[in-house]
Amino acid sequence: MKRLLTRYADTMSHISVFIGHSCSILFFACIAISALEVVMRYGFDRPTVWSTELAMTLCATAWVLSVGYVTERTRHISITMLEILVSPKVWRLFRLFQQLIAFAAIFVLTLALWKPALKVIGRTEYSGTAFNSPQPTIFKVIIVVGCILYLAQLIANIIRWTQETQEDMPSGN
Amino acid sequence: MGIEFITLLIVISLLGLMALGVPLGVTTLTVSLATAMLYFGERAGFFIVAANVSEVLHKYELIAVPFFVFMANVLERSGIAKSLFDSMAILGGRFRGSVGVQTCIVAVVLAAMSGIMGGEIVMLGLIALPQMLRLGYDKKLSIGIICAAGALATLIPPSVVLIIYGLAAQVSITKLFAASAVPGFMLASLYITYILVRVRMNPSMAPIYDIPETGLPLFQRLKYMKGVILPAILIGTVLGVIYSGVATVTEAAAIGAVGALIVAAIQGELRWTMARDAMRQTVLTVGSIIWLVLGAVSLIGIYNRIGGGEFLRGLLTGLDVPPLMVIVVMMLIIMLLGTFLEWIAIIFITVPIFAPVVINLGFDPIWFGVLFAMNIQIYYLSPPFGPACFFLKSVAPKGIELQDIFLAVLPFIALQVLGLFLVLFFPQLALWLPAMLD
Amino acid sequence: ETFNIQTSFNAGDFSTQYLTETWLPKISEMTQGRVEIIFTPNGSVVPARETPEAVAAGVLDGDFTSVNYFAGLEPAFAIMGDLISGYDTPQQMLGFCRDGGGEAMMQRAADEITGGEVHVVACGPYSRESLPARTPIRTFEDLEGMKIRSPEGLAAAVFQAAGASPVSIPFSEVFGALEKGIVDAADASAYVNNDRTGLHDVAPYPLYPGIHSMPSMQFTVNTEKWDTLSADDQVALKTWWYDAMTAMTEEVSKLDAELAARDDAADGIEVINWAQEDRDKLRVVARSQWEAYATKSALAKEALDAHIAYMTQIGLFEK
Ligand code: NA
Ligand code: NA
């Protein structure tokens, strides 16, 4: 059982890091598209109708999907003032509490986002602009995927906590 | 239950969860989900949170954030920032306090290329601090300069703080960028004046510094200009694009990111691994920001629906004081929140409530945004939660403790407060540049 | 009973002030205090696009919103929300809503996306947007080659069909884009608002009365909540809304007309008023785009047919 859990934690962390790294490619694409729009507008006098929405969609997707990576590296912004005030043992308990609260909150958030996501899968929602992409649909689905990644990585972190293998990485930006 | 009581309950639970070290995004999400479900039950409560959370992704201006962060990361990793510092040392010449002044000026130039606070302080902490200490500069003065000047990144445009403010207050980010430039330079000038006055009064704080190149005649020193020219072109391009209105702030940020890569290439520093690592760093930095925004927006939606916004606006407009005093009260509230909250949380908690009041009182929300960003400067430095101090601590030489840093920044906090009051009483300091551009 | 209604107006808008000060007291008067309404600004509780669902779920008691926000949910909302270059005056379109089957059409569209939990009380526009331009566009033919900011689907299609090239940029960038000549004209807002934001300083050839957009609003109430009202109060609510919109239409067009006359008399700004002939030409071109757009859904087609029947009846199209 213990080995199985360790396997899960390691595999999940690998997946999170891989997705996180892949997100950098999406950000690069997003930069390229936005810069290209300026060139098209001034260089060729041909502004596009798609660049804004495409850049937004790629960027938001990367932004949401990087959550596993951020969680794996424990880079969520939090205030750790108490860490210097309490004993390491007590702080270790706090760490568990923080991750359990995060799990509970994101789980409830996933439930809240679930129905809207199913709804747009059943009936596609469009942006209503000139480009009229299914952007709202993508966003409502991708955020659920992001939440699930977040939860999966939190489980991995909690496993590592119980096995005392969770590195104490500094938090904050 | 009255709204006063609910407000108190919300504040207490926010503070409690934060103090226990729960990530801020999770804290606000937890409180908003709990409030929503208690007030509206499952269906309506879930809906209101879900709708507001998904909407965050539709904010086009928000995508300028990763671009500016990436740009700053490239500048740091490619050594552009360091060569800028070295060039400035040689161009600056020799006078008492020259290295301190030069550090301020480099910080301003870097601030014009970076939209977030942190990287600059780390960079200056690694390069300038050992330099100043080696030359016998006063320890506190040196530390103060780096924290205060390094924090200017979010006052001098581009600035992620102003982008998020613009989104929350629904005002033009371009105008905010124009309005914050002069106050940014003003703060830098206050720092420089302070350094010059201090070292004149007490010469032992800053021995005159000699490197061989500064002895050269001016025209020979000019060849060291090349470390300055490329960053200057980059700054000119990005800010020029924004101020001229040629492209959106997001597009300007993309141009800045591409430009930073080009500058790195010209300096022979462009490598795929460098760009890749800069982007991975960006992913981690911005990855946590989005959850803060999601949580804050969701909390605001709920709080407005239960009449909280109306209640707080009533409190503020009900104050029996002159309009300008209401603004002062708002500034004090922001300062107070700044002692323990993250800046994004401060923006999303205060701006939706303050902005309509500011407009009702007949003030310009652009001006208020500048005051806000200046207040954030104070927040960066002030104990106990002073992020700028934490950043410096992370790279400071052994023997420099956090309490040394907190003591060292105190005079600079006084200067920041002075600057804030100058803009408060002379709004033209902020507003003349945007007016000129119109 | 208190109704929490989210509007698509911003806190500082003229319309918010006018409605809150002049018209909110009237509804409590008309119903002897049985109905009180609280307006909240655009996006304050839920994002503008989500109000139908929010009303259905009971998060809001109702909405008073630009219909165009829902164009992505069901194409019929685009046809109902802003029939680009369709009606000449807001009064004509209000007539369509009230007497020409517009309300019933809106109810069908609301049912399509929420399943009967939202009751449409009324609909209609209160202003016609003017079109600020930096280059004179005096006739239909002048549209050829003009770069016009128009983010919405139908507006972009109509401008394109008329020979212009639509550009999609965020609203916040309109001023800069006009100033620098990135666009020749921009879909912005009513004349009074464009005047306040200083657009005419950079775009001194405003087309007024406008030629393109006339955004329609909807007033809805949660069905359960609506059913608790007495028949008298239901009638009162509907009457109140149309009276308020009619009064606001007059107020806005009076302001617009005064400002336009003032500007036209002054140097530096030339207000351009298209001849009826040019408006009719644009309407014919626009109709082909409405028809193309209406193929997106059966409901959109029905909505368009209702429009065209009414427009033919009042003489905007020949029988
Ligand atoms: Na900056
Ligand atoms: Na602080």
Taking only the tens place, the pLDDT of each residue in A101-134 is 999 999 999 999 999 999 889 888 888 877 788 8
**What is the average per-residue pLDDT within B118-125?**
80
A-chain CB neighbours of B121 within 8 Å are none
Give tens-digit pLDDT for C241-288.
Answer: 999 999 999 988 898 999 999 999 988 899 999 999 999 999 999 999
pLDDT in tens, chain C (319 residues): 899 999 998 776 778 888 999 999 999 999 999 999 999 888 888 888 899 999 999 989 999 999 999 988 999 999 999 999 999 999 999 999 999 999 999 999 999 999 899 999 999 999 889 999 999 999 999 999 999 998 778 898 999 999 998 887 777 678 878 887 889 999 988 888 888 878 898 999 999 999 999 999 999 999 999 999 999 999 999 999 999 999 999 988 898 999 999 999 988 899 999 999 999 999 999 999 999 999 999 999 999 999 999 999 999 988 7
CA B340 to ligand 2 centroid distance, Å: 7
Which residues from C are below 8 Å from B174, CB to CB?
A: 172-173, 176
DSSP secondary structure, B295-343, as one string: HHHHHHHHHHHTTHHHHHHHHHHH--S-HHHHHHHHHHHHHHHHTTS-H
For residue A17, is pLDDT > 90? yes
Q: Which of A82, A104, A112 sits opposite B46 (nearest CB)?
A: A112
Indicate the pTM of the whole model: 0.86
| pLDDT confidence tier of residue B133, bands split at 50, 70 and 90 | confident
pLDDT digit string (tens) for B166-178? 877 878 888 898 8
In terms of residues, how long is chain A? 173
In the numeric block, which tokens belong to residue C301? 């087609």
Q: Where are the alpha helices (DSSP H) in B93-152?
A: 98-111, 119-134, 139-150
Rounded CA separation B38/B15 (Å) = 20
DSSP H helices, C90-230, are: 90-99, 102-114, 153-161, 174-179, 191-196, 199-202, 223-227
Say what the pLDDT of residue A168 is: 46
| Residue B281, pLDDT above cutoff 80 | yes
**Residue closest to C200 by CA, chosen among C170, C179, C173:** C179
State the DSSP H helix or E strand holding residue C186, giving kind and residue range, or none if neither: strand C185-186
Residue whose tokens read 């371009």: B174
* Contact (CB<8Å) A49/C166: yes
The number of residues in chain C equals 319
Q: Find how far residue B51's CA is from the centre of its chain.
A: 29
Tell me the CA–centroid distance for residue B368 and ligand 2, in Å.
Answer: 20
How far A1 CA sits from the closest chain C CA (Å)?
44
Mean pLDDT estimate for chain B: 85
pLDDT in tens, A22-80: 999 999 999 999 998 888 877 777 777 788 889 999 999 999 999 999 999 988 878 77
Say which of C54, C176, C177 has its CB closest to residue B51.
C54
**CA angle (B192, B195, B201) in 5-degree steps:** 140
- pLDDT surpasses 70 at B150: yes
More confident residue, B202 or C241: C241
> Is the predicted pLDDT of residue A171 greater than 60, yes or no?
no
Q: What is the pLDDT of residue B336?
A: 86
Is B343 part of the contact surface with chain A (CB cutoff 8 Å)? no
Q: Which of C155, C107, C122, C119 is nearest to C303 (CA)?
A: C107
Tokens standing for C316?
Answer: 């905007």
List of residues 6+ apart from B427 with CB closer than 8 A: B363, B364, B367
Q: Does A151 touch chain B (CB under 8 A)?
A: no
Cα B375 to averaged position of ligand 2 atoms, centre (Å): 10
* Test mutation, A52, A129, A139, chain C, max C CBs within 10 A: A129
Per-residue confidence (pLDDT) for residue C241, from 0 to 100: 95
| Confidence (pLDDT) at B429 | 86
How big is the CA angle at A162 (ends A104 and A23), to the nearest 5 degrees?
Answer: 60
Of residues B309 and B58, more confidence is placed in B58
Share of chain A residues as helix, strand and coil, in percent rounded to the nearest 5: 75, 0, 25
To the nearest 10°, report the CA torsion of C38, C43, C47, C50: 30
**pLDDT number for residue C175:** 82
Q: What angle do CA B310, B316, B320 make, to 5 degrees?
A: 135
- pLDDT attached to residue B342: 75
Query: For B293-345, how does the pLDDT look when each residue is reduced to its tens digit (9 = 90+)?
Result: 888 888 888 888 888 877 887 888 787 888 889 899 899 988 888 877 778 77
Q: Measure B177 CA to ligand 1 centroid, in angstroms.
A: 9
- CB-CB under 8 Å, C12 with B52: no
Which chain C residues touch A37 with a CB distance below 8 Å?
Answer: none
DSSP-assigned beta bridge partners for residue B347: none
Q: Given a cut of 50, is residue A172 above it in pLDDT?
A: no
Phi, psi (deg, nearest 5) at residue C121? -85, -45
Cβ contact, residue pair C68, A128, below 8 Å: yes
In this complex, is the C-beta atom of B406 within 8 Å of any C-beta atom belonging to chain A? no
> What does DSSP assign to residue B63?
G
Least confident of A124-133, B51-60, B274-283: A124-133
- Note the pLDDT tens digit of each residue in B353-366: 788 788 878 889 99
Q: Chain-wide mean pLDDT for chain A?
A: 87
d(CA B344, CA A46): 37
Domain boundary assignment for chain B = 62-270+307-437
Quickly state the pLDDT bin for B220 (edges 50, 70, 90).
low
The C-alpha torsion from C281 through C283 and C286 to C288, rounded to 10°, is -80
- Tokens in use for B394? 């992370």
Half-sphere exposure of A62 (CA within 13 A, CB side): 29
- Are the C-beta atoms of B335 and B378 separated by less than 8 Å? yes
| Tokens describing residue C157 | 């299609």
Closest CA of chain C from B308, distance in Å? 11
| CB burial of residue C180 (10 Å; 0-12, 13-18, 19+) | middle
Question: Which residue does chain A place closest to C160, by CA atoms?
Answer: A130
Residue A101 is predicted with a pLDDT of: 96
